A and B are shown apart, each in its own frame.
Chain A
Amino acid sequence: MTKKLSSLNVLSLCLLACSLVASAAHAADGDWKRGRVYYQKVCTECHTAKAGGPIAPNTRTMADWTKYLNTDKHAKGKEPLKMYVSREYRANIKATNKAAEKYADVPDEQLFNDVKTFMLKGAKDGDSPASCL
């Protein structure tokens, strides 16, 4: 049953591992200040108005937030979480939301990474637990 790995396999695995490490490092290095503003002015404002109240980053651990963000489910799975940082969503609310207007052209992945960086940094066990709402 033992299968010998070809040199192409080994090379690919190494490169894949390097790439994943690089991606993880990138994920931790978003613009946390921009993420903070988006979290406060879009996520928190909407949660306060429509979803029963704000959720501070320091109410969850980094593992909790990572799992939540990777699962990409919002409102108990009814919709993808990433929709709320998409350019399309920002375009829809920018008339009434200054953060969506200011960051209208920021690429989706970049903004999502910014918010993620802020949430992980601000988590209960993060580098700088954040209660800011």
Chain B
Amino acid sequence: MRTGIFMAAVLASMLLVSAAHAASDPDSAKLSKSTSDHTKFKALQQEFNSGPEVTKACLSCHTEASKQLHKTEHWKWEYRSPEGQLLGKKNVINNFCTSIRTNEAACNICHIGYGWKDDTFDFTSEVNVDCLVCHDTTGNYKKPAGLAGNVVTKAMEFPPGSGNIIKPIDLKKIAQAVGKTSRDTCGACHFYGGGGDGVKHGDMDSSLASPDQALDVHMDALGLNFACATCHMTEGHQVPGSRYAPTAQDKGDAHVRGKEYTSNPTTCQACHGQAPHKKIAKLNDHTDKVACQACHIPKFARGGVATKMSWDWSTGGKMGPDGKPLIKKDAKGHVIYTAAKGDFILGENVVPDYQWFNGKVGYTLFSDKVEKSDQPTRINHFEGSAGDGKSLIWPVKIMRGKQAFDPVNKRLAVVHTAGNDDTGYWTNFNWEKAVAVGMASIGAPFSGKVDFVTTESTWPITHMVAPAKDALRCHDCHASNGRLEKVPGIYIPGRASDHAGWLDTAGWALAALTLLGVLGHGLGRVIVSKRNK
């Protein structure tokens, strides 16, 4: 009996503690921002064995969602530029992992769908849309590489025979906790573009999941705490701000409720307007020539994650003394060579390049001829000039590389890299086999020979906006060998290329004459005053 009383007392204490905890919880008194508690929806109160099963449940309420998604670049991976080029991940080639073609099962884990492993993927299927990859709030949603964007709901060994066991995820729990997109959900793909954390963009990596103010003044987790969608304001699942349709110069106004938007919601002007500098108005005189990002993102890759600045595929395939594929790391532990991918040069706290940009980007595509004598091949290039009235000076990351091409047919190579088969380069390190499969996948001829060309690609720098105190100062550009030294077509006082010796001499002569005049006038006053005494 005494034991029972003791246990009852323990229980009562625990209940009291719980009650006290709930009562002292200020969040429990807060008004929920959502009007729905997804744990209460019957459609989500079931065990799910696949992603499409979850989507089917989502669609039972959100009836139009998949139809909206089907119209996005996130789904199509295809975009027709105003200049007529067919772009999007499905069609472009880059100088990172080069192309998704024949590598879909690995690359397409970042497609917002389930099961895109080859050309048979059904782009009209509504249940193939992956809702959770964008709306997960648990941080536990995973799409392992090699499974074509499918999820794992039962522990499985992958690749088969590897001994690597992939843990299953709890789709029911994840589905019941869905919410708005976040830096974590967008970042699950966009931070890892190019094959790893921070590899591709330079201004987007995992450090932005929970950044401080110095790294990004808008996304500061303890400050403004912007989500990606705060700027990439989405309607009907259409996300503005794609790099395939960039806005280089936005002459629209700051968005005001009740007024029709005249600016792209992702641009600085959409919030800050055309004259953002209130304290030093002179700075506003720069905004017709210089993009905001040029001054306000002084360096990229500032969050402690290195970005790739160069990738040389031509050195791939080396084996170590143990006969296994060679891997090299630098002093900081960054991988700088792998047999599968060749040599890398990494960068942190990188000063951008600067160039005129009018919003048009030209691409070298699969079908374009490439001349080894005309190096480097520009995988893409920003168009623009000082005099076209549409361009601003933009900060960019220039990615340099050396990648496979067919020297006879003079085309950049599509390489079958990923996959546990005899032709994948990452498995057999045989260029000829890997390129033959890649070129066949796009119906392009292949001579059987593989050579390498140097390439460059250009990436706009527009994230990692620093606090105003860390923005560039006048002398960063208005000086010899300043940041804009090589930008053509514009007069920038102070830089070496705009230096005119005769003008300096004339200026100093005028200053000296002025000083002499002032001194002479003063002397005259002194003499006259003494005479009059």
| Interface positions of A (Cβ within 8 A of B) | 6, 8-9, 12-13, 15-16, 19, 22-23, 32-33, 36-37, 40-41, 98-99, 101-102, 105-107, 109-110, 121, 127-128, 132-133
Given A98-B212, A127-B139, A132-B207, 14 additional A-B pairs, CB 8 A: A6-B1, A8-B1, A16-B14, A19-B11, A23-B14, A37-B222, A41-B212, A99-B222, A107-B24, A107-B25, A110-B21, A121-B140, A127-B138, A128-B139
Residues of B within 8 A of A102 (CB): 222
Q: Does B221 touch A at the CB level, under 8 Å?
A: yes
Verify B8–A121 contact, CB threshold 8 A.
no
Within B6-24, the residues touching A (CB, 8 Å) are: 7-8, 10-11, 14-15, 18, 21, 24
Q: A47 → chain B, closest Cβ, in Å?
A: 15
Given the interface pairs A99-B222, A127-B140, the reply to whether A15 lies near B25 with Cβ below 8 Å is: no
Which of A12, A13, A37, A101 touches B221 (beta carbons < 8 Å)?
A37
Residues of B within 8 A of A16 (CB): 7, 10-11, 14
Which of B26, B209, B222 touches A41 (beta carbons < 8 Å)?
B222
Alpha-carbon distance between A9 and B10 when the two chains are bound, in angstroms: 12
Alpha-carbon distance between A41 and B212 when the two chains are bound, in angstroms: 9
Interface centre among B4, B10, B15, B24 (most CB of A within 10 A): B4
- How many chain B residues have a CB neighbour from A under 8 Å? 33
Alpha-carbon distance between A121 and B173 when the two chains are bound, in angstroms: 14
Residues of B within 8 A of A36 (CB): 209-210
Q: Does B267 touch A at the CB level, under 8 Å?
A: no
Residues of B within 8 A of A41 (CB): 212, 221-222
Interface centre among B7, B25, B138, B223 (most CB of A within 10 A): B7
Residues of A within 8 A of B26 (CB): 105-107
Residues of B within 8 A of A121 (CB): 139-140
List 19 A-B pairs, Cβ < 8 Å.
A8-B5, A12-B4, A12-B10, A16-B7, A19-B11, A19-B14, A36-B210, A37-B221, A37-B222, A40-B210, A41-B212, A98-B213, A101-B222, A107-B21, A127-B138, A127-B169, A128-B142, A132-B209, A132-B210
Closest to A107 in B: B24
Closest to A122 in B: B139
Cβ contacts B195-237/A at 8 Å (1 or 0 each):
0000000000011011011000000011100000000000000
Residues of B within 8 A of A132 (CB): 206-207, 209-210
Alpha-carbon distance between A6 and B4 when the two chains are bound, in angstroms: 7
Residues of A within 8 A of B7 (CB): 9, 12-13, 16
| Interface positions of B (Cβ within 8 A of A) | 1, 3-5, 7-8, 10-11, 14-15, 18, 21, 24-27, 138-140, 142, 167, 169, 184, 206-207, 209-210, 212-213, 221-223, 304
Verify A9–B3 contact, CB threshold 8 A.
yes
Alpha-carbon distance between A124 and B304 when the two chains are bound, in angstroms: 21
Residues of A within 8 A of B140 (CB): 121, 127-128
Closest to B170 in A: A127
Alpha-carbon distance between A23 and B221 when the two chains are bound, in angstroms: 29
Residues of A within 8 A of B222 (CB): 37, 41, 98-99, 101-102
Residues of B within 8 A of A8 (CB): 1, 4-5, 8
Closest to A32 in B: B139
Verify B15–A19 contact, CB threshold 8 A.
yes
Closest to B21 in A: A109
Alpha-carbon distance between A132 and B184 when the two chains are bound, in angstroms: 13
Given the interface pairs A19-B15, A32-B139, the reply to whether A9 lies near B212 with Cβ below 8 Å is: no
Q: A59 → chain B, closest Cβ, in Å?
A: 14
Q: A10 → chain B, closest Cβ, in Å?
A: 9
Given the interface pairs A6-B4, A102-B222, A132-B206, the reply to whether A12 lies near B139 with Cβ below 8 Å is: no
Residues of A within 8 A of B221 (CB): 37, 41
Verify B206–A12 contact, CB threshold 8 A.
no
Closest to A133 in B: B304
Alpha-carbon distance between A23 and B15 when the two chains are bound, in angstroms: 10
Residues of A within 8 A of B3 (CB): 6, 9
Residues of B within 8 A of A105 (CB): 26
Q: B114 → chain A, closest Cβ, in Å?
A: 20
Alpha-carbon distance between A106 and B24 when the two chains are bound, in angstroms: 9
Alpha-carbon distance between A15 and B222 when the two chains are bound, in angstroms: 40
Residues of A within 8 A of B10 (CB): 12, 16
Q: A105 → chain B, closest Cβ, in Å?
A: 6
Given the interface pairs A110-B21, A128-B140, the reply to whether A33 lies near B11 with Cβ below 8 Å is: no
Alpha-carbon distance between A127 and B27 when the two chains are bound, in angstroms: 25
Residues of A within 8 A of B24 (CB): 107
Q: B132 → chain A, closest Cβ, in Å?
A: 14
Residues of B within 8 A of A133 (CB): 304
Verify B21–A9 contact, CB threshold 8 A.
no
Q: A118 → chain B, closest Cβ, in Å?
A: 9
Residues of A within 8 A of B27 (CB): 110
Closest to B28 in A: A110
Alpha-carbon distance between A106 and B28 when the two chains are bound, in angstroms: 11
Closest to B140 in A: A127
Q: B335 → chain A, closest Cβ, in Å?
A: 14
Q: A15 → chain B, closest Cβ, in Å?
A: 5
Q: B140 → chain A, closest Cβ, in Å?
A: 4
Residues of B within 8 A of A6 (CB): 1, 3-4
Residues of B within 8 A of A12 (CB): 4, 7-8, 10-11
Q: B477 → chain A, closest Cβ, in Å?
A: 32
Residues of B within 8 A of A110 (CB): 21, 25, 27
Alpha-carbon distance between A110 and B7 when the two chains are bound, in angstroms: 26
